């Protein structure tokens, strides 16, 4: 078979894989939203921001400082989300943001393939890198759990890496600025990317130093000047260890969860990044940020969205090393075996060991849960959409285009125009965040006795209070 025809088949296979992956991610995230398993944090804040920007309004978020609100950039400095606002010129449905996130990840993989196609000669190696990129369960979990700034940043980040390898430096700076604009801590990644440029075999000293300088200036400007100016202190300050040895102990302990997270990540990419010295700053900084500078256990495993950046980081590490291995007449002979083994590892981890969440797209019971949640559609159809609404975390995610806050004990001070709660037993505890189920019941009892509110019981457990 002639080379051109084989190239076309390879290209079509990759496009088909990316399409099916994006479709599965969209179906899973959409159905979780329709099942009321999406939450105000982080879906609500990001979606409200994009919606208001699409209406040429300042993105004030009521929840950040109820009842008056606070501009979102006083919380996370993410001006690049303005590029997402045109989505709401074509539809008013929040589902478009969930679909777009899946497409952004798919496009990221397409950029990764273009890079692999240019620099990697072995077809099966190119395919294995894309399988690793998308098959990484840490990335799947990011798509499974609502929407996040960081996940949207993957596409411009991959374009940054593409421009870097193509030596298109004007585009490199444009894409890098857009990437850092999705969240202030992306500037730290820019610093590490600058170090990568200094350490890689084909060094780019000038661009590397300028990238490091840009990252430092950006992160200091965002966290020390802009965010405090817009709304007070930067609330995401790193938990810096007080003594030197905590840098080591926090990195490795508890070993069960942290070591497992690292091993599974490297395994997904066939352990190749271990030998990519130039990528060490990117990899080590990522884990320092999650394991050492943050004490929240939710950041230590493969759950949520905290691993999303590792797909492009590990891809970059693997690509850089493969380019070098190809020049070795001995080592390059083993690349095909490595690639086949890596694909097998990814399939095993996804299908049998970690049970990647995108498998839900093929499970009939998952779609039945969507049908079972239809009764909540009838409930929210009776909740007023004008004025200030106070409601629980999972219901608030369906009121992102208005003024919405989560359940708050200080309702008498905030004076919401409507309060809506679903008090069914057996719900996810996160539905009532930041309150507990018992605290929510106490809140309902208090509002029921408040003469300023009229109570409407849709069912025994579904209650709406309207301020008189």
User: 282-325: per-residue pLDDT in tens?
Assistant: 999 999 999 999 999 999 999 999 999 999 999 999 999 999 99
Instruction: Determine contact, residues 147/98, Cβ cutoff 8 Å.
Output: yes
Confidence (pTM): 0.96
Average pLDDT over residues 146-161: 97
What is the share, in percent, of the chain residues with pLDDT greater than 90? 96
pLDDT of residue 121: 93
Instruction: Determine contact, residues 35/369, Cβ cutoff 8 Å.
Output: yes
In tens, the pLDDT along 168-190 reads: 999 999 999 999 999 999 999 99
pLDDT of residue 1: 63
Q: How far is CA 76 from CA 153, 228, 233, 357, in A?
A: 14, 11, 11, 28
In tens, the pLDDT along 324-338 reads: 999 999 999 999 999
Nearest to 361 by CA among 6, 28, 77: 28
Average pLDDT over residues 42-51: 96
Upper half-sphere CA count for residue 347 (Cβ side, 13 Å): 7
pLDDT of residue 233: 82
Instruction: Determine contact, residues 179/186, Cβ cutoff 8 Å.
Output: yes
| Separation of alpha carbons 29 and 242, rounded Å | 40
Q: Where are the domains of the chain?
A: 3-37+76-362, 377-467
Helix axes 137-144, 95-119, angle to 10 degrees: 160
């Amino acid at each position: 078979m002639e080379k051109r025809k084989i190239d076309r088949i390879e290209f079509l296979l990759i496009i088909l894989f990316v399409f099916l992956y994006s479709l599965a991610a969209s179906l899973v995230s959409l159905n979780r939203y329709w099942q009321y398993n999406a939450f105000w944090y982080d879906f609500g804040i990001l979606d409200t921001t994009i919606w208001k920007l699409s209406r040429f309004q300042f993105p004030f978020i009521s929840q950040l400082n109820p009842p008056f609100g606070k501009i979102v950039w006083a919380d996370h400095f993410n001006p690049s989300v303005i590029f997402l606002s045109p989505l709401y010129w074509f539809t008013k449905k929040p589902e478009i943001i969930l679909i777009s996130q899946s497409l952004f990840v798919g496009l990221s993989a397409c950029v990764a393939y273009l890079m692999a196609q240019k620099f990697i000669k072995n077809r099966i190696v190119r395919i294995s890198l894309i399988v690793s990129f998308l098959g990484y369960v840490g990335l799947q979990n990011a798509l499974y759990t609502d929407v996040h700034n960081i996940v949207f940043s993957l596409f411009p980040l991959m374009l940054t890496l593409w421009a870097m390898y193509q030596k298109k430096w004007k585009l490199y700076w444009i894409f890098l600025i857009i990437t850092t604009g999705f969240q202030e801590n992306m500037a730290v990644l820019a610093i590490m990317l600058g170090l990568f440029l200094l350490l890689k075999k084909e060094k780019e000293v000038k661009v590397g130093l300028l990238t490091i300088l840009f990252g430092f200036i950006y992160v200091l400007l965002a966290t020390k000047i802009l965010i405090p100016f817009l709304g007070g202190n930067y609330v995401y300050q790193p938990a810096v260890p007080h003594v030197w040895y905590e840098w080591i102990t926090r990195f490795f302990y508890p070993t069960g969860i942290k070591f497992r997270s690292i091993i599974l990540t490297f395994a997904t990419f066939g352990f190749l990044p271990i030998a990519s010295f130039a990528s060490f700053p990117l990899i080590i900084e990522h884990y320092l940020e999650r394991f050492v500078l943050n004490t929240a256990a939710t950041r230590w495993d493969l759950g949520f969205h905290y691993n999303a950046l590792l797909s492009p980081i590990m891809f970059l590490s693997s690509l850089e090393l493969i380019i070098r291995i190809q020049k070795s007449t001995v080592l390059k002979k083993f690349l095909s075996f490595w690639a086949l083994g890596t694909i097998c590892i990814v399939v095993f981890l996804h299908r049998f060991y970690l049970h990647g969440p995108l498998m839900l797209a093929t499970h009939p019971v998952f779609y039945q849960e969507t049908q079972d949640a239809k009764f909540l559609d009838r409930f929210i159809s009776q909740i007023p959409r004008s004025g200030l609404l106070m409601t629980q975390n999972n219901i608030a995610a369906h009121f992102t285009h208005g003024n919405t806050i989560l359940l708050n004990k200080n309702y008498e001070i905030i004076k919401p125009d409507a309060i809506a709660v679903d008090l069914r037993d057996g719900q996810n505890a996160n539905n009532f965040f930041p309150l507990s189920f018992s605290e929510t019941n106490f809140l309902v009892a208090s509002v029921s006795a408040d003469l300023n509110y009229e109570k409407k019981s849709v069912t025994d457990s579904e209650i709406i209070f309207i301020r008189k």
